[in-house]
Structure 1
Amino acid sequence: MLMIIIMELKINVTQIIKCYLLKYFFKIFFLFLLKCSFFVSMVEAKIIYDFSKVENLDGWYVVDDGVMGGRSKGKLKFENGDTGVFSGKISLENYGGFSSIRYYAGKLNVKKNKYITVILSGDDKYYQLRIRSSRNDRHVYTKKFFAKDGWQEIRIPLDSMEPYFRGQRLRMSNFDKKYISEIGFLIGNKVRENFELKIRSIMLEEDYEL
Structure 2
Amino acid sequence: MRPLIGFDGGPGEPHWVALNDGVMGGCSTGAPAIADGRLEFRGALSLANNGGFASVRSVGRHFDLSGATAVVLRVLGDGRRYQLRLATDARHRGIAVSFGAGFDTIAGQWIEVRVPLDGLQASVRGSLLEGQTMDPARVREIGLLVADKREGAFALSVDWIALD
Q: TM-score, normalised by structure 2?
A: 0.88
Q: Please give the secondary structure, in 2, of the residue aligned with 1:103.
A: strand
CA distance in 2, matches of 1:200, 1:146: 16
Question: Which residue of 134, 137, 140 maps to 1:178?
Answer: 137
1:73 aligns with 2:29: yes
Aligned CA-pair RMSD:
2.0
Question: Which residue of 103, 114, 132 maps to 1:145?
Answer: 103
Larger Rg: 1
The size of the alignment, in residue pairs, is 158
CA distance in 2, matches of 1:112, 1:99: 30
Look up the match of 1:96. 51
The Cα of 1:122 is off from its aligned counterpart by 0.4
Q: Which consecutive residues of structure 1, in runs of 5 or more, have no partner in the other structure?
A: 1-43, 206-210
Q: Please give the secondary structure, in 2, of the residue aligned with 1:48.
A: strand
1:50 aligns with 2:9: no
Q: Which has the higher contact order (CA 8 A, sep 6+)?
A: 2
Question: Which residue of 99, 116, 122 maps to 1:163?
Answer: 122
Larger helix percent: 1
1:82 aligns with 2:37: yes
CA distance in 2, matches of 1:157, 1:105: 24
Q: State the identity as a percent.
A: 29
Q: Once the two structures are superposed, what CA deviation does each residue of 1:22-76 show, in whole Å capped at 9, x if it has no partner?
A: xxxxxxxxxxxxxxxxxxxxxx41x22112x217x86110001000011001112
Which runs of at least 4 in structure 1 moved beyond 3 Å after TM superposition?
173-177
Q: Which consecutive residues of structure 2, in runs of 5 or more, have no partner in the other structure?
A: none
Look up the match of 1:120. 75
